[in-house]
Chain A
Amino acid sequence: MTAPLSITLHVNGERVEAQVLPRLNLADFLREHLKLTGTHVGCEHGVCGACTVRVDGEIVRSCLTLAVQTHGGFVETIEGLSDSGEIVDLQEAFRQRNALQCGFCTPGMLIAAQDLLKHEREPDRAQIREHLSGNYCRCTGYQAIVDAVEETARVRRERKP
């Protein structure tokens, strides 16, 4: 049965029904079927982190997840996190610190960084680097990215002491 299978899932809060081939990975499903092209496809074998999305609240590699495996699940992409305002401060910090140049890695970086910030109120630079170790950036050299994440954590602590 290499025929398409029916899947139903939620993407950025919207219910989606689709027919997909089993071989289709989640990154290509989001990009090609739903036109959510904020999820980037870099290495396609789990090394670069550009395709990071959330499934059921946890970050995953969408290139290493089959679309059929997300049947019944809740997927959030950079479009969802951006539109909801959840990471508006993190995005602003990235801008302020020049934490992106070409922007290819940025959606994955933002999602991975937000995942850390949700769990760690006061991450140190080593923890930030550890958490982002699975996300490649080929422009900025990471320093500015770590700065932006550290700054966002600081501002969020001040907002909610």
Chain B
Amino acid sequence: MKASAFSYARPTSVSKAVELLVAHGERAKVLAGGQSLLPAMNLRLLAPEWIVDIGGLSELRGISVGDGRITIGALTRHADLLRSVEVAAHAPLLGKATGHIAHPAIRNRGTIGGSLAHADPASELPACMVALDATVIACGPAGERRIPATEFFTGTYETALSAAELLVAVELPAASKNSAHFFDELARRHGDYAIVGLAAQAVVENDRLNELRAVFFGVSDRPQPAKASASLIKTTVTPASLSQALEALSEELDPPEDQQANGAMRRHLAKILLARCVSELLDRPELGAGGRP
């Protein structure tokens, strides 16, 4: 189908964009790369009266590093993240995850800010932001607001942003010396939305996971940290302790059912991913089978 008619504005500054959002509120949608918004509009799932196209705001594009933090502008495209030496050096989890996002033609237009503001529960970047303990920076009529990623995602396509706020950047702590990461997702076709995915950031020292932030996506209405992984931290992981953690994971998840998979299958796939994650982070292939002999 085709998108329904809308009015179009292309602001030339962040403050003008915010003015437009203040004026039109819920009747407006922000257009960044359009790779989530335009499909929704073509399918008539969304029919905003106003489109505020922020594509001309070049100040929202780009990646910078300083003070142990990496700052990524909202209009930075997936293709830019994939090519970025800063991302590869300081947030390699993000680089790994971005390779799983859709297809090259979509990565050439889709943006990090758009993906986060859209908050699809099956998409990769929201889970990465929670795993990396990122901060989302938004601009509104009252100025700048910093929102921890852990509080940013509030439901399916829902975030802590108000209708008058524009997501302008995200800030991540740069990866430390002993940090390690894991990213994988299970999908029917490479580039499709994941049935279940897992993003994890860890600190590995002396064959132990001294820190682990393992965050699932596709299993809930928002990125879901795996509480069960806490039992694997600062201890020597054994096949038995991993097996217990996987059972606890299965208990804590209550995944949705859709055309792709039912809840039981999603629970099963989540266990497989957490076992692979621990096995890869600790470089212990024997744990990959999830503690089963």
Chain A positions near chain B (C-beta within 8 angstroms) = 1-2, 5, 21-23, 25, 28, 44-46, 49, 52, 58-61, 63-66, 68-69, 112, 115-116, 129-131, 133-135
Contact = CB atoms under 8 A, between A and B. Distances in A.
Contact of B104 (A2, A46, A59, A69): A59
B interface majority secondary structure: loop
Contact of B79 (A49, A58, A112, A116): A58
Given A23-B2, A44-B2, A64-B39, A134 B7 contact: no
Interface residues of B, number: 31
Given A59-B108, A69-B31, A133-B103, 10 more contacts: A2-B6, A25-B2, A25-B42, A44-B42, A49-B105, A52-B105, A61-B106, A61-B109, A112-B104, A133-B191
B8 interface: yes
Contacts of A134: 102-106, 191
Nearest to A1: B7
Given A133-B190, A134-B191, A64 B8 contact: no
26 contacts: A1-B7, A2-B6, A5-B8, A22-B5, A22-B51, A23-B2, A23-B3, A23-B4, A23-B6, A25-B2, A28-B2, A44-B1, A44-B42, A45-B42, A46-B39, A46-B102, A49-B103, A52-B105, A58-B79, A63-B42, A65-B38, A66-B31, A69-B55, A131-B104, A134-B102, A134-B103
Contacts of A25: 2-3, 38, 42
Contacts of B177: none
Contacts of B3: 23, 25
Contacts, number: 92
Given A61-B109, A69-B53, A46 B2 contact: no
Contacts of B31: 66, 69
B292 interface: no
B265 interface: no
B34 interface: yes
Nearest to B9: A1
Nearest to B191: A133
Most A CB atoms within 10 A — which of B4, B39, B55, B191? B39
A112 B109 CA distance: 15
Contacts of A52: 105
B35 interface: yes
Contacts of A69: 31, 34, 53, 55
A68 B6 CA distance: 12
A59 B191 CA distance: 16
Nearest to B110: A64
Nearest to B3: A23
Closest 8 CB pairs of A and B: A134-B103, A22-B8, A45-B39, A59-B105, A58-B108, A64-B38, A133-B190, A1-B7
Given A46-B35, A46-B38, A69-B53, A1 B8 contact: yes
B57 to A, nearest CB: 13
Nearest to B50: A1
Interface string B1-35: 11111111110000000000000000000010011
A135 B191 CA distance: 11
